[in-house]
Structure 1
Amino acid sequence: MAVNQELVSLSAVELRRRIGGKEISPVELLEACIDRIAAINPAVNAVTATCYDRARREAAAAERAVRQGEALGLLHGLPTGIKDLEETEGLLTTYGSPLYRDFVPAQDNAMVARVRASGAVVVGKTNVPEFGAGANSRNGVWGATGNPFNPLLNAGGSSGGSAVALACDMLPVCTGSDTGGSLRIPAAMNGVVGFRPSPGIVSVERRGLGWTPISVLGPMGRTVADTCLLLAAQAAPDDRDPLSYDAGGAAFAVPPPVDLGRLRVAWTEDFGQCPVDAPIRAVMREKVQAMAHLFARCDHVAFDFGEADRCFDVIRAVSFLARYREAYEKDPASLGPNVRANYEIGAKMTLADFAWAHLEQTRIFRSFQETFRDYDLVLAPTTPVSPFPWTRLYLEEMNGEKLRNYYHWLAPTYFVTLATNPAIAIPGGTDHAGMPFGLQVVGRFRGDRALLGAAHAMEQAFEAIAALRRPRPDLAKLTKPTPELKSIVTHPPVLDARPSGHATSGASV
């Protein structure tokens, strides 16, 4: 058992090296991950539907391939979690919605197929909010996912289950997706890494509004290097996605070397107008002070994001109108409060609103790119508050002021979504409440590789600075179940359901 526990704590990059070098067996690694899930998942509820029998067969096949000297993929033998918005062949895919509690897809979607083709062993699904709407991974099918630093607090979303599975060493890599922060927010709240790539690098063949870059798929890992390894497997063009292009996926496998001492860095607490809790503002200033010496320059910079809140309202609402009109018109009560709220916002809008929003997003894009004439990176808080109890579906007010809607507290990430620049959340120590603090690092337009290289260099430098070092949960405190997390489940899903066609694809925050 001691060897197994040591094994699951290794990075994905190191595990893949040891598998390729015949130092460890994929079968041994899978069993170690299953043991860790059995021991810890009842306390945090991150992993939902599982497929252990199939995973064991695939791990055994991966072991044979190593022994026979076959060519090995980037993720060969690595146990992997798939966010429960992605269709997985023969494995329950609920989108966190009671409408699909028994849905078992007949095939993998394109991204999952690419990950499997790279040698990954899919172990199970990871929890989400209903249809990915919101930054609190709770739903009526599986219940809530708890933060491993305190299971009664929010783990973020919508890739919350993936982030927690990583933080607890249940799985070495997990997939995610991001509309307004769904890769970055849960990574920040759980002390791991979440990368929102430029739209088109990871093709999304299931996106109904194919020309809209608001939603992307992407990787999560415990380190930047692990995240890069998964991205290299995910990245590929697909002629069903009009935004996709060949970005040279294999080139992402290893982050490029970057000299931090040559970088010019801009930083902000709020991009000029995002609601940010006063203590987090103070924490951000402290973090900048602790890291400023690493860079050639580190300047506080003002930004003009215009009417970004209203712009995001419109663009987001259009996506929800496209996805959920049929379900809403049939029975509004079949959709949760977050999905209904987005749909109803959109139903009140006009074509003039839609035209204005695209004009405003273009203006925001062009204004933000001007920053990179003088700077290489932009730093900001990923989340504007410390994790709050998961029983609060969302944050209603901040600093004594009422917020505009259920996702307004996510503005520091959805402002960056509007600009379309690549962005990554990396651990930056803890906040004023002792919870993980995630630093959002934004790169140049389509500057994904340079951003990943800089984030990797920052991560390495942070390990030598106590105030910035990645926090880790005390897993010994997570050995008892947390019954409250299942309290919102109406009735359990049918785990042996038959394939029943394709469902409407989920969004993400």
Structure 2
Amino acid sequence: MADQGLVRETACAIVGKLKSGEVTPLDLLDVLEKRIAEVDDKVNALPTLCFDRARKHAAALMKKPASERGLLAGLPIPIKDLTSVAGVLTTQGSPIYKDNIPAKSDILVEHLENNGGVVYAKSNTPEFGAGANTFNEVFGPTRNPWDTSRSAAGSSGGAAVALATGTAWLAHGSDMGGSLRSPASFCGIVGMRPSIGRIARTIAAAVDRNLGVQGPMARNVEDLALLLDAMSGEHPADPLSLPVLPTSFLSAARSGSKPQRVAYSPDLGITPVDPEVAAVTRKAAQRFAEAGAIVEEAHPDLREAHECFHVLRAFDFALSKAALLRSKRNLLKPEVIWNIEEGLKLTVEQLERAEAQRVAMTARTLEFFDKYDLLLAPATIVPPFPVENRYVAECAGKKFDNYVEWLGIVYAITLVCCPALSLPCGFTASGLPVGLQVVAPPRGEAQLLAGAKVLEDILGMRGATPIDPRAPK
């Protein structure tokens, strides 16, 4: 009988047990199936399960010597429901695809499986990942386990909640405008947007789309680094993909390498922020001083971020979804229709301006990192909001023009091509998690992970999850 206490162990510890033979991949699948039955009906994180497929894969893996089972050695992983898994319902949160069962997996999934990951579930996402609140017409809303009346954010909301409730040790997600970082912040776990090309994925709509990337989520920095190692690597079918680095990300996280000078900004100069979130993140950032770092208040000049992201995101939606607007408009949610139509209205002059803005902001950010090792800011500008609110309409007295503007603090970092993660850094007075966004220069994942681990050790919040879902107080 598999031990249910295993859900509280770190992913690194579980992989150690897999490699020593103390547990098998089949044991872990039994543990997860029982845990999902206990808690998932309260949060709706993993609406699609594929345990039969997972057990077949695990059994095949167990025929190999332990040393040949890959980095993850048979560790189970859920895949976000935007990403295809062969033979498994993949809806993208849309009624259009409510019966879609792909014949072929995404490159990312094949890569994870080749590295010893075992896929057992699909995690919930908003329709096509649009919007930072995880709900859709196919499966309904995903709820925040710290308070089930609250949002888990999005679009990797199901993945974050699975980690927070112990129905996953590691989870896959993706991020265009904060979709790995915002749910991590709301759910008290770690979510990382890597550099462009760090993780190969199947290309769709355009060869060089790069606003969105795939990435890892975990309960702590070391586990996150382990999954990044298992996800990374080039593939000829993704021409943007980068080769594996000579030093593993896990060893970088464990290196103890400390930043010398870090910058903190409550707002990146572009957004309102809830005063309580600003206070919690500022206090956490200042604790880098305990590691000998100089902490200063500063940020790069990102003033064009809202206009630039609005245009480039709309263009991406037009590229990837215009055909659906033409053929299935009645099945699309209003926000998705709005996104596509905004993209179809764009002129070449608007695109030219937005691309120039992105180039200028990226150059200024690179210059900023000549002085600072890391940039720190809130990962979300508000604490978790009521789940029935489709998005954040206003913050600190400022009303937003559209349903994505509240995400400026994360999408500005997307635009300047930097890797970034959300690290649990404290709680509001009402006990809701707050995430600190930690940003490094492009391709600086190693220094990002090292610095985040140093601060994680200082803050002492490792082990706050998994939790049982909590009803509103």
Structure 2 counterpart of 1:497 = none
Using a 3 Å threshold, how does the CA distance of structure 1 residues 131 and 249 change in structure 2: closer, same or farther?
farther
Structure 1 counterpart of 2:100 = 103
The answer as to whether partners of 1:260 and 1:294 remain within 8 angstroms in 2 is: no
Which string of whole-angstrom CA distances, capped at 9 and with x for unpartnered residues, describes residues 146-187 of structure 1?
A: 001011100011101001101111111110101010111111
Please give the secondary structure, in 1, of the residue aligned with 2:406: helix
TM-score normalised to the size of structure 2? 0.95
1:20 counterpart = 2:13: no
User: 5+ unaligned residues in a row in structure 2: which ranges?
Assistant: none
Deviation at 1:289, TM superposition (A): 3.8
Structure 2 counterpart of 1:486 = none
Q: Which residues in structure 2 correspond to 1:394-413 (within 5 Å)? A: 394-413=391-410
Structure 2 counterpart of 1:475 = 468
* Whole-angstrom distance in 2 between the partners of 1:203 and 1:471: 32
Structure 2 counterpart of 1:198 = 195
Which of the residues 205, 214, 218 maps onto 2:215?
A: 218
1:134 counterpart = 2:131: yes
Structure 1 counterpart of 2:231 = 234
The answer as to whether partners of 2:422 and 2:437 remain within 8 angstroms in 1 is: yes
Q: Which residues in structure 2 correspond to 1:242-281 (within 5 Å)? A: 242-248=239-245, 251-259=248-256, 262-281=259-278
Give the fraction of aligned pairs with identical amino acids, expressed as a percent: 39
* Whole-angstrom distance in 2 between the partners of 1:162 and 1:110: 19
Please give the secondary structure, in 2, of the residue aligned with 1:212: coil
Using a 3 Å threshold, how does the CA distance of structure 1 residues 477 and 409 change in structure 2: closer, same or farther?
closer
Structure 2 counterpart of 1:54 = 53
* Whole-angstrom distance in 2 between the partners of 1:139 and 1:111: 24
1:287 counterpart = 2:280: no
* Whole-angstrom distance in 2 between the partners of 1:124 and 1:371: 41
Structure 2 counterpart of 1:92 = 89
Deviation at 1:302, TM superposition (A): 4.0
User: 5+ unaligned residues in a row in structure 1: which ranges?
Assistant: 483-509
* Whole-angstrom distance in 2 between the partners of 1:8 and 1:151: 20
Deviation at 1:474, TM superposition (A): 4.1
The answer as to whether partners of 2:148 and 2:470 remain within 8 angstroms in 1 is: no
Which string of whole-angstrom CA distances, capped at 9 and with x for unpartnered residues, describes residues 420-444 of structure 1?
A: 1111111112124321111100012
Deviation at 1:277, TM superposition (A): 1.8
Structure 1 counterpart of 2:432 = 435
Please give the secondary structure, in 1, of the residue aligned with 2:121: strand
* Whole-angstrom distance in 2 between the partners of 1:160 and 1:170: 13
CA RMSD of aligned residues (A): 1.9
Of stretches 311-320 and 333-342 in structure 1, the one that deviates more from structure 2 is 333-342
Structure 2 counterpart of 1:165 = 162
* Whole-angstrom distance in 1 between the partners of 2:13 and 2:318: 44
The answer as to whether partners of 2:165 and 2:469 remain within 8 angstroms in 1 is: no
* Whole-angstrom distance in 1 between the partners of 2:469 and 2:312: 44
Deviation at 1:243, TM superposition (A): 1.6
The answer as to whether partners of 1:135 and 1:157 remain within 8 angstroms in 2 is: yes
The answer as to whether partners of 1:73 and 1:118 remain within 8 angstroms in 2 is: yes
Which string of whole-angstrom CA distances, capped at 9 and with x for unpartnered residues, describes residues 126-148 of structure 1?
A: 00000000111100001110001
1:152 counterpart = 2:149: yes
1:5 counterpart = 2:1: no
Using a 3 Å threshold, how does the CA distance of structure 1 residues 295 and 141 change in structure 2: closer, same or farther?
farther
The answer as to whether partners of 2:219 and 2:462 remain within 8 angstroms in 1 is: no
The answer as to whether partners of 1:233 and 1:250 remain within 8 angstroms in 2 is: no
Q: How many corresponding residue pairs?
A: 472
TM-score normalised to the size of structure 1? 0.89
Deviation at 1:8, TM superposition (A): 1.3
Deviation at 1:85, TM superposition (A): 0.6
